[in-house]
Amino acid sequence: MQKKKLAIINIGIGNIGSVVNCVNKLNFEPVIISNGQELLDYSPSHVLMPGVGAVREAMNNMKKRNLTDTLEKLVFKEKVFLCGICLGMQILSDSSDEFGFTKCLGWIPGKVSLIKTNGLSIPHMGWNKMIMSKNTDKIFENIQGKDMYFAHSYSIKCPDQYIISYTEYAGKIVTAVKLNNIYGIQCHPEKSAAIGRKFIQNFMSLE
């Protein structure tokens, strides 16, 4: 069996150190990737794309670093597994309303908009339950219904067929999506202790 190779994409916003530390605890040896050529040269089997901050800045940085086209080639032609974390999940969508309209990658049909909280505080921060949708997936094996850590003000709205989990915060918030080998998770596995590590371990077991 081919050795699994994990790339962690640095899109230039947010600290990826906690993601690297989490992965290291699982005894994987990730390579931090900052541009498209590095990504091609490394030829990963799995990609984590974390992000904290603004969607527009993330998209601009990805284009400047030639990551958009390279990721698209690896994900759609080479069938590399990709998981976007927090902002990394949001940019998988068609567009975002954060600070005005921003066109995103368009890999998961849907739109990112401000959470409607009905009086609850924004951002949505803290631990909340990952409730599985009818579209169960191996990536949540042994962690269904567990609490994970959130810190966000915007969330994706997309067709049910792409939703694999949600949480309740003044209504349903989509917390994980999937399309074939493309995954996104809104919460922070790297800040979710043993449950988060199990999620990343499950992601790395995909083949």
Does the annotation mark 22 as catalytic?
Answer: no
CB atoms within 10 A of CB 15: 10
Active-site choice (86, 104, 158, 187): 86
Active site residue 141: no
Rounded to whole angstroms, how far apart are CA atoms 199 and 203?
A: 6
Instruction: Assess whether 190 carries a catalytic annotation.
Output: yes
- Catalytic one of 46, 104, 158, 190: 190
List residues with catalytic annotation. Answer: 86, 188, 190
